[in-house]
Amino acid sequence: MAAEFRGSYTVTVTPFTEDGEKIDFEALRRFLDWQVECGVPGVIILGTTGEFLTLSDEERRAYIEATVRHVDGRMHVLVGAMNAYTKKAAEYAAMAEELGADGLMILPPYYYTPTHDEIFEYYKAICAATSLPIMLYNNPFTSNVDMPATLVARLTAAFGQIRYIKEASTDVGRVFDVIRETDGVMNVFAGERIVESFLLGAVGYVDPFGNYIPRAIQALWRLLEAGRIDDAKKIQAHITKIEHTIAEGHPTYGHQCYSKALAARAGYPVGDVRAPLTTFSSLGEEGRQRLEVISGIIDELDRLVDEIEAAA
């Protein structure tokens, strides 16, 4: 029986050695143990935050194998298996299943701006290559493709493996649209606006912030499930401050380099990013100042979570 995915899943960074040349497997194991200790129900590796485009096929295989082996059933492991070439995406999906992954997260073919029929055939080929449950990944800002609710419904109706979607179009109303168009069959994971997405029916969150504040994110999701929406909003307000502080920098800085710097601040160093992304080390004083601001927000957030949990 396929696993059921619910809750806030960390879409993880990929730990590299200081020179960026190799995957740091020791850092990976420490990082995964931390996620388990914080109650994270699952990780999604080799997504956008995981710099999937920078890994060779040999690194991909070794990384999936090491992750699955070390997690050893303590939480779910989903693997990003997207590629602009359909055959390659199908091979990546089959590889993940062979190595023991619990599921897949798959972006539509990027760069080409494919038609809906081309997207359908892409997922059809992937479903033929694996029996794993698939989470669609709708992120028009990275893929140059927006999968509307009608296309999601078509895929859901055709393929029994497709029962999840990360909805990251920034149109929070799309959560409701997808659930309605699929007659409630599709399980939506928020890509942003956690509280609002939950209230519209999302069952989970694909979470980049779990790379450095996993305890707070898990507390937020527990509050939502308990109906404590106002308390959840207080945590989300701090997360929004972090997001805006990062976004004030150059757009290419993104979550990747700050996620890695903040993971190190939390005691779990994971190296820096690979080119062409801007490394945190190259940001100099600007990066250090921005990190200091974010650190202050995180300290406030930790105190808030302590207060909320003490009042429970």
Task: Please spell the DSSP secondary structure of the chain, one letter per residue.
Answer: ------EEEEEPPPPB-TTSSSB-HHHHHHHHHHHHHTT--EEEESSTTTTGGG--HHHHHHHHHHHHHHHTTSSEEEEE---SSHHHHHHHHHHHHHTT-SEEEEPPPPSS---HHHHHHHHHHHHHH--S-EEEEE-HHHHS----HHHHHHHHHH-TTEEEEEE-SS-THHHHHHHHHTTT-SEEEESS-HHHHHHTT--EEEEGGGGT-HHHHHHHHHHHHTT-HHHHHHHHHHHHHHHHHHHTS-TTTHHHHHHHHHHHHTT-----PPTTSPPSGGGHHHHHHHHHHHHHHHHHHHHHHHHHHHT-
Closest CA to 232 of 8, 6, 5, 12: 8
Ranked by mean pLDDT, the top range of 158-162, 248-252, 281-285 is: 158-162
Mean pLDDT of 275-289: 92
Taken in order of first residue, the domains within the chain and their CATH numbers are 7-229 (3.20.20.70)
Instruction: Write down the catalytic residue from 164, 166, 205, 268.
Output: 166
Q: Are 159 and 138 in contact (CB under 8 A)?
A: no
pLDDT of residue 253: 55
222-273 confidence digits (pLDDT tens): 999 999 999 999 999 999 999 999 988 766 556 799 999 999 999 999 999 9
Question: What spatial distance separates the first Cα and last Cα of the chain, rounded to whole Å?
Answer: 35
Would residue 110 show up in a list of annotated catalytic residues for this protein? no
Would residue 137 show up in a list of annotated catalytic residues for this protein? yes
* Interacting residues of 121 by C-beta distance below 8 A, sequence separation 6+: 86
pLDDT of residue 255: 78
Q: Cα separation of 253 and 193, whole Å?
A: 21
pLDDT of residue 171: 87
Q: Cα separation of 150 and 172, whole Å?
A: 16
Q: Cα separation of 125 and 287, whole Å?
A: 43
Q: Model-level pTM?
A: 0.96
Tell me the pLDDT of the chain averaged across its residues.
95
Instruction: Write down the catalytic residue from 92, 122, 123, 137.
Output: 137
204-227 confidence digits (pLDDT tens): 999 999 999 999 999 999 999 999
